[in-house]
Amino acid sequence: LKQLSVEFRDYVHWFNEHRIHGTLGYRTPAEVRRLPS
């Protein structure tokens, strides 16, 4: 159960931070945060 929890947390982090999002112009959230405001 602990391993499942770790893998799920890692997946959620990847999904939210590293996955390319169409609504962000096909960039990752990390890339968008690095852009000048």
Residue corresponding to tokens 């890339």: 31
Predicted pLDDT at 37: 77
Tokens of 29: 């959230």
Beta bridge pairs of residue 27: 21
Beta bridge pairs of residue 21: 27
Specify the higher pLDDT residue, 8 or 37.
8
How far apart are alpha carbons 14 and 8 in whole angstroms?
Answer: 10
Query: How many angstroms separate the Cα of 6 from the Cα of each of 15, 21, 26?
Result: 14, 23, 27
Every domain of the chain and the residues it spans: 2-34
Cβ-in-10-Å burial (0-12, 13-18, 19+) of 22 comes to exposed
Give 2-32 pLDDT, tens digit per residue.
Answer: 999 999 999 999 999 999 999 999 999 989 9
The pTM assigned to this predicted structure is: 0.66
